[in-house]
Structure formats: C-alpha cells, structure tokens
Amino acid sequence: MNHITSLIFQTWLQFLVRYRRTFIGPLWIVVGPSLFVLTLGLLFSQISGAKAEVFIPHLTIGLVVWTLVSGFVNGSTTVFQRSRAQILQGGMNLLDVVFVDVTTTVFHFVHQIIIIGVVFLIFHIPVTVYALVSLIGLFLLFANGVWLAVLFGIIGARYRDLVEVTQAVMRIAFLVTPIIWMVGEQGRGGILGVFLVYYPFYHFLELIRAPLLNNPIQPLSWIVVLSITFSGVFLARYYFKRYSGQVALWI
C-alpha cells in the first residue's frame, strides 16, 4: 500500500512540475478542449443540421474520452524509453513505470471532466442513475490502458517504428470515430453500420458516452470491449513474462 501511495505521489509531482511557472497551471489541460468544443460545436452543429443541445454534449464527451484513449495508445509505445534512466538505475521496475504513466494520463482526463460538467449544466442534461454505467466503461478503458502500456511498451522498445505507426493510425482514427459527427439511425443500417460493428474505438466510446446521454448500449459493444480486454491482458502477460528481461537492453 505504501508503495502504491509513493507511486501516486510521484505521478502527481511530475504532473505539477510540467506546469511549473505557468499562470493557470494544469487548467491549460481544460483550455484547449474547451475552445475546440466551443468552435467546432457551434460550427458543426450548423453544418450537420443537428441541434446544438444534442451535438455539443455528444462532441464534448467524445473529445474528452478520446483524449484518454489517444493518451493511452500514443503513450504506450514510448513508455519505457521515457523512463530509461529509472529503469537502468534500478529505481523503478517495468510495472511501476506502467503504473505511473497510466496514472498520469488519468490525471489529465480527470481535469477535462470539468468540461463535460459545464456542458451538462448549460444544456440542462439530466444525470440519472443509468449514467453510473459509464463508470464500468471507464474501468474497462483503464484496464486496456494498462495492458496496452505493457504490450506496446515492450514492442515499442524493440521496434521504434511502432510510435510512428500508432500516431498515424490515431490521427485517422479520430476522424472516423463518431466524435465530430453523429451516426444517426440511417447510418447504422448501411455500410457505416457494418464498419462500426468491427470498429473497436466506437464500442469503447459508446460504453461511456451512451449512459451519460441516456442512450441504450448495444450488447455488441459489451461483447467487443470485454473480448478485447481479456485478449489484451492475456497477450500482455505473455509478452511480459517472455521479454521483460530484455527491455533494459532495447532501450
């Protein structure tokens, strides 16, 4: 317990040091997404013909959750390289490094939840008991963040091209994920509907956004997310047992 507390304190200290000598400190994490939501929310709601009170909450939750998803994915490929000194000096083991990195990403996400709260207040969106289901979606997303950091961290330490691949993929993934656009009932039945069935980011996002907006979650989303979670944990455990001893040589 003391070890975990020490790691959390170390993570929080690194988080604060990043914003040292800035005027508003960690609130800069909120400024960028807020401007994004304000600008694109008003613009795209007019382009798409959707009502602002429907589109802006959809955009806000999607953007904040996507920040967490992209933070997990992009950060996982360089997690061990960025902690090279601590690993080589024996100050932290690989799992400690993963814990600190994932927790740092979560700290960023927690700050941005403020934006969702403000949008909900502005548009008078009711928060029901059903919204608590989103906590399950968040927990599953955090679990995937951990195995991603272990698996991609090991692969990324051996093959440095992985970071370039993931960054390119995530830029495209942002555009094809229903964040700055809405699916609609017509889209679910066409080619777009087939695409969303096999698109994992959509299902992760739905487990969190749908309950907050009082929308039903399709059973397929639970099946896809749980399947990816258990498969990822199995793969990460296998790679960690087999290759963790070589990471110090690769970095």
Is it the case that residue 147 has pLDDT exceeding 70?
Answer: yes
Average pLDDT taken over every residue of the chain: 85
pTM metric for this prediction: 0.86
Encoded tokens for 248: 């110090």
Q: Is 217 helix (H, G, I), strand (E, B) or coil?
A: coil
Lowest-pLDDT range, 17-21, 121-125, 151-155?
17-21
Cα dist. 244→83, 105, 154, 240, 249 in Å?
14, 23, 7, 5, 10
How far, rounded to the nearest angstrom, does the alpha carbon of residue 39 sit from its chain's CA centroid? 22
89 pLDDT band, cuts 50/70/90, is: confident
User: What value does the mean pLDDT take over residues 200-204?
Assistant: 95
Residue 98: both structure tokens together: 């993963």
Q: Give me the mean pLDDT over the 117-140 stretch.
A: 92
Largest CA-CA distance found in the chain, in angstroms, rounded: 57
Cβ atoms 56, 217 nearer than 8 A: no
8 A C-beta contact, residue 149 and residue 75: yes
Q: State how far the Cα of 144 lies from the Cα of 65, in Å rounded to an integer.
A: 14
